[in-house]
Amino acid sequence: MILLALQAALADCTAVEGTSALALMDSALLHYENIEIDAFLADAALTRTALECHTVPVSRAQAARLHRMFGMVAFLEHDSEAAQAWFLAARSIEPAYVFPETLVPRGNPLLQDYEARSVAELTPVPLPSIPDGRLQADGSATTWTPGIPAIVQQFDDSGAVAVTRILGPGDPMPWQAVTEVRERRPARLTVGVGALIYGRTDSPPVQAAYGVSAAIPVGPVDLDLGVQLGATRQEVPDKSGELRVQTVSLPLARVGVRVPFGTGPVVPHLGAAVVGTVNHDGLGVGGAGLLGARIPLSGPLELSIDGLAGWERGFVGTAVAGIALAL
């Protein structure tokens, strides 16, 4: 039901294109002050649509104003229970607010609903963490209060608003709705250092390796591209033609696909790749399996750990740790 509602709301975005939610709210309240009830209800409905269509952060003060307006809508629709919930959400942010006489005169029955419930009954709880970005409710990045309305926004890793949802009285936190709308994974560029094993001798040693790799989302999988420069000990003919074991440079490239899985902070992945190396014997091509994980550090930076094991004219394996930048 939540997803159907979201799809319907997104279909109406053309009606508020180029118009801000705050401007629509100001227009609605002016209509209310002039007792233009039909125009007030129309602009209030457009305000709600604009909020969910536009990616603009909502502050605490703006959230309080919006809750009061939606409470006025519920009051005019003779839904006293909903009006009290909206007004309580507004008073949880601005408990000392008093309606101006020009908007709601003293003695207006709306004030009974506005003051009917006490903020003392509220119990805020921590906002949940989500796989991508963070949540904010009514301008707060730390808590929200179940049971009363809230304006929930999801911010992506760059700090921009990706999704805005308005929760009515008793609505649950829209876990799936938020995460499904914001399921795009960023591409990642990694620079790292690690170790290389290349089995072209009886006892292949471990040598240092340096690499650059990229993960590019393609649907549910990532296209994996990587280049590493390492060294290995191989039998190389000298000037006289005699084979001698020497340490030689070994460039290695890979092209493959990997599948990330899991929803926690640490996201592991599995995959497979075609690998190629170049040495004194020429170009060699083989296959390998991929295993790794990424661990969030700060902002778009992550710790990336990647392993590769396969066969290319002998066993080849790498293990690289590096810093990944989410693009």
Residue-wise pLDDT tens digits, 292-304: 988 888 778 888 9
281, pLDDT greater than 80 = no
Give the C-alpha separation, 133 to 128, whole Å. Answer: 11
The residue among 247 and 95 whose pLDDT is bigger is 95
pLDDT at 274: 93
Please answer whether residues 150 and 156 qualify as being in contact, where contact means their C-beta atoms are separated by less than 8 angstroms: no
**Whether this model's pTM surpasses 0.75:** no
What is the per-residue pLDDT across 53-89, written as a single tens digit (0 to 9) for each? Answer: 877 899 999 999 999 999 999 999 999 999 999 999 9
Comparison of pLDDT for 143 and 85, the residue scoring more: 85
Q: Are 46 and 18 in contact (CB under 8 A)?
A: no
User: What is the pLDDT averaged over residues 167-182?
Assistant: 64
pLDDT for residue 263 is more than 70: no
Positive/negative CA dihedral, 20, 56, 62, 144: positive
Share of the chain above pLDDT 70, in %: 83
pLDDT computed for residue 3 by the predictor: 36
**To the nearest whole number, what is the mean pLDDT of the chain?**
83
Residue with tokens 């005699």: 242
- Give the dihedral of Cα atoms 48, 85, 151, 70; nearest 10 deg: 20
The pLDDT value recorded for residue 289 is 92
| Residue at token pair 């009290």 | 84
Position 30 scores a pLDDT of: 95
d(CA 210, CA 232): 13
Model confidence at 254, in pLDDT bands (50, 70, 90)?
very high
